[in-house]
Amino acid sequence: MEFGPHLMLAALEGAVTAAVLALMAAGLSLVFGVMRVVNVAHGEFYMLGAVLAFVVAGMAGGGAPGFVAALVAVPLIVAALAVAADRAVLRRLSYDPERTIVATIGILYILQQLALMGYGPDARPVAPPFNHRIALPWIDWGAGGPVLTWPWGLSITSYKLFVIGAAATVLAGLWLLMTRTRIGLVMRATQLDRETAQTFGIPVGRVYALVFGLGAGLAALAGVLIVPIQQAHYLMGGDALLLSFIVVIIGGLGSLPGTLIAAVLIGLSDGIISVFFSPTLAKIIATLLVALVLVFRPQGLMGKPAR
């Protein structure tokens, strides 16, 4: 395969990574933006999404019905679990930034060990509901002008296209929720000034529980979508958490548009560099980008500077 089609194939793989990463990082950014809580356990909610997808899909009989059941039920289950964790732990700490970091580290290890005991150490796949291979065209320039060709190996599966479309749909819905609904208005008011929001009768505790559950649900949804491509494993949350933090820092803490832009940049670069060089080099370059952003633009691409 020539360089052009090879680059297109790498970019499509990167787009799948970017779609899943955008979902997960959006949840992390939302939690920090509204609650000012750095959720170190966010990667484990992603892991739970993948692990529970395997369990729920198996209970529902597998195949397309099993996957659809997992796609609907698992984010709700994980969101409810996150709400319970917020009520039982974070709320009792008054959402203090330092103490909540330690608390979410504890939640991380509890969820990880529960998954190990209940699910086991083996990586297990979930069959995609559909997985047709779609050949992609390429335009070559011949003696008589542009010629449409079909290079061997230039293709993508229908499920990967579904992942990209599903992530885009959910993120568009999240944007509409935050900007066009009363719930979004309440969240933004709480984000701007917690004390003033309480003065005006906004139930800040319920808002925080809702936000924490929504962020965890987005991470779990990302886990459900990725598990037919990557197998579910009880340790899979670590790398996803690292990439999510990289995206949120580059995009700007609490900035949803910045997070989406950074997710696309990191996802595409990760896909292209991993195909042409190595996945390790992709992670090294992403980490160097974080260092440069912290030095030259600490607030991120679209974050607001501290006052």
In a domain, 258, yes or no: yes
The predicted structure's pLDDT at residue 306: 57
pLDDT at 1: 54
**Distance of alpha carbon 19 from alpha carbon 167, whole angstroms:** 6
The burial class, CB within 10 Å (0-12 / 13-18 / 19+), for 223 is buried
* Dihedral over Cα of 294, 215, 21, 263: its sign: negative
253 lies in a domain? yes
Residues near 283 by beta carbon (within 8 Å), at least 6 away in sequence: 242, 270
* Residue 110 maps to a domain: yes
Instruction: Report which DSSP code applies to 124.
Output: B
Shortest CA distance to 74 belongs to which of 35, 126, 116? 126
33 is in which domain, residue-wise?
3-296
Q: Please tell me the pTM assigned to this model.
A: 0.91
Q: Minimal CA–CA distance to 248: which of 80, 12, 39? A: 39
Q: What is the pLDDT of residue 298?
A: 82
- 74 inside domain: yes
The whole-number pLDDT of residue 305 equals: 66
43, part of any domain: yes
In a domain, 307, yes or no: no
Phi, psi of 62 (to 5 degrees): 75, -175
pLDDT tens by residue, 280-294: 888 888 888 888 888
Integer CA distances (angstroms), 65 to 54, 152, 153, 231, in order: 13, 33, 30, 19
Q: For 29-43, 96-110, 204-218, 267-281, which range has the lowest pLDDT when averaged over its residues?
A: 267-281
Angstrom distance (rounded) from CA 126 to CA 124:
7
The phi, psi pair for 232, rounded to 5°, reads -75, 135
Does the pLDDT at position 67 exceed 90?
yes
CATH number of the CATH domain containing 73? 1.10.3470
257 within domain boundaries: yes
More confident residue, 148 or 90: 90
Residue 305 domain flag? no
For all residues of the chain together, what is the average pLDDT?
89
* 108-160 pLDDT tens trace: 999 999 999 999 899 988 889 988 888 887 777 767 777 777 777 778 899 99
List residues bridging with 140 in a β-sheet: 147
| Structural domains of the chain, count | 1
Cα 99 from Cα 159, distance rounded (Å): 41
- Provide the pLDDT confidence category of residue 175 given band limits of 50, 70 and 90: very high
| pLDDT confidence of residue 224 | 96
| Contact between residue 31 and residue 42 where contact means Cβ atoms under 8 Å apart | yes
- The Cα–Cα gap between 108 and 78 comes to 13
40-49, 137-146, 172-181, 264-273: least confidently modelled range = 137-146
